[in-house]
Structure 1
Amino acid sequence: MRRWLGRSSLFLGALSLSVVSVVVQAAGFDHVARLADKGFVISAQARLLDSGEVLGALNPSQPLSPASVTKLYTAAATLDRWGPQHRFTTRFVSTGTLDGNGVLHGDLVLEGGGDPALTSEELWRLIQKLRELGVSSVDGQLVISQWRFGPVTCETSDRCKTQTEGTNAYASLLSSAAVNYGSWCATVMPGVVGQPARITSCDTVAPTLRIENDVTTVAASGSADLYAKRVTDSQGDTLKISGRIPAGTYPRPIYKASSDPADQTGQTLLSLLRQAGVPVSGGYAVSRQAPPSVAKDLAAVEGKPLQELLLRTLNYSNNFMADTLALDLTSGTQQNLPDAGRELERFATSLPGHGAAILRSGSGLTPENRVSAQSVNALLNAMYGNASLFPTFVAGMQVPANGPMHFIRRGSQTFQDHVMLKTGTLNEPVTVRAVAGYFRTDSGRWGSFAVLVNGTASTPYLSWRETLPMVADDLTAMIERH
């Protein structure tokens, strides 16, 4: 009996030390630590950047899924590679000849430059440059060249589903020659009460894809209730829109991912060329081959500078833009997301104090991504120390008090005004709620933080309404103590 009691005492002593260790480690993240009682796995760390002092930590070296916090790695890697003023170029090239009547004899090739924010507006500017050159028609095909990457193999269930059905815009497919973020856009406008609504394309005068309109105009006192999805068959994409829209209300835009971004570009550009009075006799085709080396530049348009791209990518957590930027980091032809992930991993592991990382995408849609809170802080510290890149990097983060994402407007006024952050959310295969960024203490000192919360198959659903106040309470205490 005495021997059993001795072992029990040793066990209880070890348990006491373990509990004390957890309590000490969780110091500074007392509220967040409560999620561990519900079965969630947590990695958290906050530190001052001038001294390196750790203000709070909870399993800081535990690798977990960061979800869209991954986009901070993409932003940092692209800034490190190109700088804030880099622009991606989209070109018209051809091996054909232009005669005295303005006829281009040969194919007109759009060479996709991997611009993640190429839109119909840029295509209009490109067409205008073609017209300035004197081109009035094309006796050949319009060829969409996605030789750099595309179609990119889907790595997540959401994107794989998008190949046959589009129910959202966040899982758009990827191509170096994509336009309008790889999504179709239609505008629903009310008509006469009792009659169908009016539906037009956002990007071209005449819709470039089939639209099935089952939207009814109801009385002005009614409510709007729209449902839309994109389906694909042997004839291509169809946008099916149903529901109701009240008379006299504002138009509602609908965005749904296309089944083939390069094909979408072909349809859109062919329509725009016709509207501009530059008919193409041979229709369009999509190619994975680079234009011949003897092809001559006809026109080019530069996209927005990288600093603007990152503002949109981070502020709106745009998956299409993030993954396109990550793919732009690769070299060679027909690259896929694992190739982009390896570039991000090389960048991450080169940072002082970072350590190993698993990054399978630049967006964080891939649930296999793994970094720790300590590693994320190493990234944030490295960017803070880069005087030429830090202003652009931090500008992409949201300040809760006035950020575009309303769900982050929680917590104390101190948290609202003193924190700059990026969030990450996944609901499948397990819940992920992640947040990282910078804060300013009451005395004006800079700090960084990362909180990664991962669920398991047995943990309950976790909302931001529950999570963010806990993070806010812990950070508020740190900010006000210093």
Structure 2
Amino acid sequence: MIIAPAYAQAALPAPIEASLSRANLTASDISLIVTPVGNKNASRLPASVQVIDSRDTDRQSTRPSDYNAVTANENNSSQNVTKTDNLATNITTHTDSQSALITIEQRTIEQHERKIHTYTNDPYTYQSVEGIPTVVPDENPSLTNDDNSAVSTDNASVKISFSPLLNHQPDVPRTPASTMKLVPTFIALDTLGAGFVWHTRVYHTGIQVGDTLMGDLIIQGSGDPKMTHERLKQLLYQVQATGIRHINGDIIVDSSIFESVSKDPAAFDNAPLRPYNASPDGFLVNFSTVGIKTHPLGNDHASLTYKPRLANYQLPNKIRTRDAACGQVSYSLSPQWQAERLALNASLPKSCGEHVFYVAYPDAKTFAAHVIAAKWQALGNTLSGQVISQETPYNAKNTSKLVHGLTAITMSPLPMVSYPSLDLTQQIYDINHFSNNVMTEQVALSIGAYDTTERANMPAKNSTQKAASLYQYQPMHTDYPAALTHISQWWQTNLSTPPPYLTNGSGLCRDCTITAANLSELLTYAYNHPSFDAYVDSLGIAGVSGTIAAHSERLPDSAAIGRAWIKTGTLNNVTSMAGYVKGLSGQDYVVVGMINTDQALNPYTARPVLDAVLDWTAQR
């Protein structure tokens, strides 16, 4: 156990003490570390962001007058990496001999946030109380997860070691909420690489006769964190492009890459319909979530549309309306997933108007089967059998099916389709910017499945399964104990603090713990890593984007606006943040703050404490 140095208990800066007092918190409730990193003359952080509003020149920010101290890496990936659905195409970089500054319109931020939270062609079901602020006034938002001496390291690339500027209770294990996501996302970048992609491969048994497959279609799940329903459609379209329009057999989904990772969706907070409680899976489709869009009809009814559609499952297309306030889905629709139909046991408040409710299906494999069947049919194709989703590799010898004739021909040795995912850089942008829990779990599990550095020490069962598989390309199978052990081994190999205690990697847990010293050391190590650009660009920008966008509303004159790259975390008794700040002096800082209490926190009073920490740091 690490013993905190004496100065860790020194008085906190006055602005932070004052914010703690206003929140009815004490210094014992918080752990803080602020540590300089890098070189003033060679910052690795992206260019700072200035927010302006040309609709009202009186409201244009005057705060960036100190930006002449800013230095920026001209090659940072905020300029060069293309991301999905972010602000990269809407920013302008202004440079002079002393600084680099990104200018962004306030209306662009507003449009970006609306796009995220509106049901569009490819819905992002971000799983965060901070990312989707749609809590009804009398609902407890604490039930959701946002769904955030010098620390030395053996990393040879670290050039300069600084003593912490602020170091308060750094070694107290605390519940981190979604700041835990910083751990598996960086370890994945280090072990798998920023350009890593998951390949979902499709095989077949039997033989193709004309446009008919006389046999089964086999989809081998890869653990892809973001197989949205639109991307699934593209996968099946590529199958159709091989000439197959009719399958005289079954579609079999092999999700065996992840073993026994399904969980009770009600276990965390008794809210099984909320998408942040979705289980990971070897073939996770659309985060196991349906978007239900309501359309008022004007006759005390509203029509309902669904994305994605579910085949062989009844979804009501109309609901009665009533006079009431529009709340969360459990209040407004009271949905129940029954064996063959979705039951809506309440009328819909008229005030909902056109609105989208996101509802998680309780079982990832059954959900995937329904969506695959619907997408295959929507492409104009037919299937004589059914979609079977299983957690074992396809093996004709072990199947109970009666196969004969052409369908008895063994499985194709090479895949007919190999469909790549978005690369890891894009995936962790979604994870950290919008705090997507189930995507984080997919990445954490994938570290155990795809990192080859420790394979010589893997359990024998994995080696046996790989050797016995019919597949030409077979990743290692993994489960949570194996994946978390892999993460812990990485920590012990690369860092000096004792490893944190993870249970799933996303922070959606109350028994997982990490120290401020842990996060500070990880972020310091990452600062000097070749994949740092991908990592820092995945974080929200204070007052601009991600789950830290509201920082400017809480603290309008904060020096950290546009100068801090932060991951946040929120649970009922946790408020946390960790990331990087560019000080007005040009010095970069790693900043970590975690508040834990024995009773429920009010996030609207606790969050300003950490805002004060960011502001104080940015002023250095």
Q: TM-score, normalised by structure 2?
A: 0.66
Paired amino acid for 2:237: Q
* Count of aligned pairs: 446
Q: Cα–Cα, structure 1 residues 275 and 214, in superposed 2: closer, same or farther, change >3 Å? A: closer
Contact 2:280 2:442 survives alignment (8 Å): yes
Partner of 1:43: 31
Partner of 1:403: 545
Matched, 1:479 2:618: yes
Q: Cα–Cα, structure 1 residues 154 and 455, in superposed 2: closer, same or farther, change >3 Å? A: same
Q: 1:420 aligns with which of 553, 562, 565?
A: 565
Q: Cα–Cα, structure 1 residues 236 and 289, in superposed 2: closer, same or farther, change >3 Å? A: farther
Percent identity among equivalent residues? 20
Contact 1:209 1:238 survives alignment (8 Å): no
Partner of 2:63: none
Partner of 1:62: 172
Contact 1:213 1:240 survives alignment (8 Å): no
Contact 2:304 2:318 survives alignment (8 Å): no
Partner of 1:115: 224
Distance 1:469 1:160 in 2: 25
Contact 1:150 1:174 survives alignment (8 Å): no
Secondary structure at the aligned position of 2:10 is classed as: helix
Paired amino acid for 2:514: V
1:471 deviation in Å? 2.2
Distance 2:212 2:199 in 1: 25
1:203-246 C-alpha deviation (Å, 9 max, x unpaired): 23x76633346733579xx9655623543444466566741346
Q: Could you tell me which runs of 5 or more consecutive residues in structure 2 were left unpaired when the two chains were aligned.
A: 39-160, 397-409, 450-461, 463-475
Q: Cα–Cα, structure 1 residues 97 and 67, in superposed 2: closer, same or farther, change >3 Å? A: same
Q: Cα–Cα, structure 1 residues 321 and 252, in superposed 2: closer, same or farther, change >3 Å? A: same
When structure 1 is superposed on structure 2, of 464-473 and 175-184 the one drifting more is: 464-473
Secondary structure at the aligned position of 1:359 is classed as: coil
Residues 282-297 of structure 1 mapped to structure 2, 5 A cutoff: 282-292=385-395, 295-296=411-412, 297=415
Q: 1:187 aligns with which of 266, 279, 293?
A: 293
Paired amino acid for 2:301: P
Partner of 1:152: 261
Distance 1:259 1:325 in 2: 21
Contact 1:173 1:257 survives alignment (8 Å): no
When structure 1 is superposed on structure 2, of 223-232 and 284-293 the one drifting more is: 223-232
Distance 1:441 1:253 in 2: 40
Contact 2:170 2:517 survives alignment (8 Å): yes
Paired amino acid for 1:112: G
1:38 deviation in Å? 4.9
Distance 1:82 1:391 in 2: 15
Partner of 2:522: 379
Paired amino acid for 1:169: P
Q: Cα–Cα, structure 1 residues 342 and 231, in superposed 2: closer, same or farther, change >3 Å? A: farther
Partner of 1:143: 252
Partner of 2:367: 264
Paired amino acid for 2:361: S
Partner of 2:319: 215
1:48-75 C-alpha deviation (Å, 9 max, x unpaired): 0134131111111111111111100111
Secondary structure at the aligned position of 1:148 is classed as: coil
Secondary structure at the aligned position of 1:43 is classed as: strand
Partner of 1:336: 479
Matched, 1:280 2:423: no
Paired amino acid for 1:419: A
1:134-185 C-alpha deviation (Å, 9 max, x unpaired): 11211111112111125524278546956xxx33111112211110012122
1:328 deviation in Å? 1.1
Secondary structure at the aligned position of 1:118 is classed as: coil
Contact 1:98 1:135 survives alignment (8 Å): yes
Q: Cα–Cα, structure 1 residues 258 and 443, in superposed 2: closer, same or farther, change >3 Å? A: same
Distance 2:388 2:269 in 1: 23
Distance 2:416 2:343 in 1: 33
Paired amino acid for 1:24: A
Q: Could you tell me which runs of 5 or more consecutive residues in structure 1 were left unpaired when the two chains were aligned.
A: 1-17
Distance 2:314 2:268 in 1: 22
Contact 1:149 1:175 survives alignment (8 Å): yes
Distance 2:24 2:7 in 1: 15
Contact 1:93 1:299 survives alignment (8 Å): yes
Q: TM-score, normalised by structure 1?
A: 0.84
Matched, 1:124 2:233: yes
When structure 1 is superposed on structure 2, of 236-245 and 60-69 the one drifting more is: 236-245
1:384-417 C-alpha deviation (Å, 9 max, x unpaired): 011x211110111111211143544332330222
Partner of 1:468: 607
Greater share of residues in strand: 1
Q: Cα–Cα, structure 1 residues 189 and 208, in superposed 2: closer, same or farther, change >3 Å? A: farther
1:370 deviation in Å? 1.3
Q: 2:535 aligns with which of 393, 402, 406?
A: 393
Contact 2:433 2:539 survives alignment (8 Å): yes
Secondary structure at the aligned position of 1:266 is classed as: helix
When structure 1 is superposed on structure 2, of 337-346 and 437-446 the one drifting more is: 337-346
Q: Cα–Cα, structure 1 residues 262 and 80, in superposed 2: closer, same or farther, change >3 Å? A: same
Q: Cα–Cα, structure 1 residues 159 and 265, in superposed 2: closer, same or farther, change >3 Å? A: farther
Please give the root-mean-square deviation of Cα atoms over the aligned residues, in Å. 2.9
Q: Cα–Cα, structure 1 residues 316 and 385, in superposed 2: closer, same or farther, change >3 Å? A: same
Distance 2:265 2:374 in 1: 32
Q: 2:279 aligns with which of 159, 165, 173?
A: 173
Q: Cα–Cα, structure 1 residues 174 and 241, in superposed 2: closer, same or farther, change >3 Å? A: farther
